Chain A
């Protein structure tokens, strides 16, 4: 089975600062999804990466897929309170999700 490990597990960042969340796979990554979850709610789809080296951006969030490192990263620029939540990576084809990274933004 393929496992996804996210780091860090928890992150506290001052508003306006940049941050990076990593998702590392135990096997080759052919594609990856990123989701965001507000506490006690469902997941919201952020981005899908389908091939090695791919990079996508939406507003201040950028995701990259490094297939050689079996890793994906999610980078947030100039963080805002609205970015707070739990970020999860997932492989839809495998129906597998990472353990999540809890992001807190402080003033």
Chain B
């Protein structure tokens, strides 16, 4: 079955620690995205990548970093510089930027 997976489903971290969220897709999509969702708000774009070894900052990239070494994988690191990291993080992929996006199940990050 083709799809997009995120792990873990729930993640807890202590303040001041970096943490990496995994996102893998086997849809052969070129484009991948990371969004953050907070209660009462829509999705906000963190980073996106349209091709391997290339990525661009979204609206709220500060305190986050990404890599795109393989087509299938687009991990997101939440660094200690992110002031308010507790949120629901969604990864998505698409064949191209104008095509519909396929979303993973999300990772809920809680900073203790």
Are B103 and A43 in touch, CB under 8 angstroms? yes
Distance A45 CA – B95 CA, assembled complex (angstroms)? 14
Interface size, chain B (Cβ < 8 Å): 26
Chain A, Cβ-Cβ closest to B104: A42
Interface size, chain A (Cβ < 8 Å): 23
Are B104 and A40 in touch, CB under 8 angstroms? no
Interface membership of B75, Cβ < 8 A: no
Q: Chain A interface: which of B11-19, B35-43, B63-71, B76-84? A: B35-43
How many A-B contacts are there with CB distance less than 8 Å? 56
Are A92 and B42 in touch, CB under 8 angstroms? no
Are A43 and B42 in touch, CB under 8 angstroms? no
- Give chain A interface residues in 71-92, CB to chain B under 8 Å: 88, 90, 92
Interface membership of B29, Cβ < 8 A: no
A24-48 interface bits toward B, Cβ cutoff 8 Å, 1 = contact, 0 = none: 0000000101010000111111001
Chain A, Cβ-Cβ closest to B4: A42
Are A42 and B97 in touch, CB under 8 angstroms? no
Residues of B within 8 A of A4 (CB): 42
Are B94 and A99 in touch, CB under 8 angstroms? no
Are B94 and A92 in touch, CB under 8 angstroms? yes
Q: Contact check: which of A9, A43, A93, A98 meets B97 at CB < 8 Å?
A: A93
Give A residues with C-beta under 8 Å from B: 4, 6, 9, 31, 33, 35, 40-45, 48, 88, 90, 92-93, 95-100
